[in-house]
Structure 1
Amino acid sequence: MPLQSDPQPRRQPKQLRSRMMVETTVEAARQIFAEHGFEAATTNQIADRAGISIGSLYQYFPNKDSLILAVHKKHHEEVLAVVKGAMDRCQFMPLKDAIRQIIVANLDMHMKTPRLHAEFDAWIPARSKLVDQDGFQSEMAQIVLNFLSQRPDVQQGDQLKPAVVVIMNMVRSVLHAAVGSVSDGESREKMLDHLCAGIYGSLNTVVQPVGQDVSVTVPASDGLG
């Protein structure tokens, strides 16, 4: 059943040692949830994996609910970092190639712990006020817009933001479905073919006309950090 309690952290770590302990505990929770599922996992297992006492765990996390929310928040941070990193690496690739590389990076991250993502969907309500979903979506949209706005093969204008909304929802739906259903390399490649074609098709109103000069010149002394 979805989270019922108000699993806010009991306290925020201030000292470096406490922050490191909390980070270790969240990582331990991620591993345990991925291995055993949320319902079967126990706080004792998580404390043992983190190498701390159960009392130390409860100083910061009142229950399992607070732990899965912390893991989910960390997951959002990692998704943003993975997508931005892939975009940085693909800045000077042709758009179709860049799209595929970015999606592959995102998919590979999700496929590392497929059970964990299923647990997120099962236990955390989609519109839970405990999760800053709007903040995550807004930050992701800005990352995508920044990437597209820096490309000479993409026209800027009123059509770009609606295209990004469509792309984000498409990617989220397909990747989450793929995590639970793609089991072999052939299925993975076919799914990527369809998803990348869909993304490129969503950009058909903003991609520069074929034949127009859209070559990208790599700056001599500057780059995307």
Structure 2
Amino acid sequence: MSPERGANTRRTPVQERSVATVDAIVEAAAQVFARHGYEAGTTNRIAERAGVSIGTVYQYFPDKDAILVALVEEHLDGALAALTPLLTDLVVRSPPVEEGIPRMLQALVELHRRHPALHRVLFEEAPRPEALRHRLDRTVGAAVDAVTGYLESRPEVLPPDRRLAAQLVVQIGETVTHNLVINPRDGADPESYVRETEVLLVRYLTGR
């Protein structure tokens, strides 16, 4: 089995020095993938960028996909940390849909703008091992749960199945912001598409 394509199990670091080494490898992978893409982002390049030997990389990660999973998990942790306060505020404060939907879409835009090249590699070029698919599903599920709670608190929301409505809001918001921020069309203004998406979702949810 090629070391680039083995199982996605990885050794969990315990000592502080080991944790620092793993962090350096994951950060190097982010830079290598963003610059070279997934296929050309080899473990040799990652090791060189991290300033460690290839043996050290394989000491903690059995293959490139295991590094990818760690990198995506780190990315998702950051996304959840950024979005959780917003989603919690929507549920607790329950602003009108005309206010809540734009806030949600703008937060998604800002997340996608942080590392567009890396984001493209992680979610368009790279394969999705089973562990990664499960983690993505859990993350989307948490967002849908929060949006469902928000929609249930708003009397102006018309669709009777609030969870189905929340799934549509999350998927449409993610798809629009991803495609227009990560892969902008020539001359396209992402903000104009976001505004039209706000209109689309608000009209779907409220009929206004």
Q: Same fold (TM over 0.5)?
A: yes
The answer on 1:106 being equivalent to 2:86 is no
**CA distances 1:101-152 after superposition (whole Å, capped 9, x unpaired):** 2221221221222222322312224xx5232132222222123234445x55
Which residue is 1:223 aligned to? none
| Partners of 2:6 and 2:63 within 8 A in 1 | no
User: 1:189 aligned to 178, 191, 205, which one?
Assistant: 191
What secondary structure does 2:52 align onto? Answer: coil
CA 47–5 in structure 1, closer or farther in 2 if over 3 Å, else same: closer
The structure with more helix, counted as a fraction of residues: 2
In structure 2, distance between residues paired with 1:97 and 1:63: 45
What secondary structure does 2:39 align onto? Answer: coil
Which residue is 2:130 aligned to? 129
The answer on 1:139 being equivalent to 2:139 is no
Q: What one-letter code is carried by the residue in structure 2 that aligns with 1:118?
A: R
CA 199–152 in structure 1, closer or farther in 2 if over 3 Å, else same: closer
Deviation at 1:67, TM superposition (A): 1.5
Gaps of 5+ in 1: 211-225
Deviation at 1:175, TM superposition (A): 2.0
| Partners of 1:10 and 1:61 within 8 A in 2 | yes
In structure 1, distance between residues paired with 2:27 and 2:189: 30
Q: What one-letter code is carried by the residue in structure 1 that aligns with 2:193?
A: M
In structure 1, distance between residues paired with 2:183 and 2:206: 30
In structure 1, distance between residues paired with 2:131 and 2:105: 28
Q: Kindly, what percent of the aligned residue pairs are identical?
A: 28
Q: What one-letter code is carried by the residue in structure 2 that aligns with 1:130?
A: A
| Partners of 1:9 and 1:60 within 8 A in 2 | no
Which residue is 2:23 aligned to? 23
Which residue is 2:163 aligned to? 161
**1:34-113 alignment, distance < 5 Å:** 34-88=34-88, 91=93, 93-113=95-115
Deviation at 1:192, TM superposition (A): 0.8
In structure 2, distance between residues paired with 1:59 and 1:156: 55
**1:204-219 alignment, distance < 5 Å:** 204=206
In structure 2, distance between residues paired with 1:18 and 1:200: 49
Q: CA RMSD in A?
A: 2.9
Which residue is 2:204 aligned to? 202
When structure 1 is superposed on structure 2, of 80-89 and 171-180 the one drifting more is 80-89
Q: What one-letter code is carried by the residue in structure 2 that aligns with 1:52?
A: V
In structure 2, distance between residues paired with 1:202 and 1:154: 11
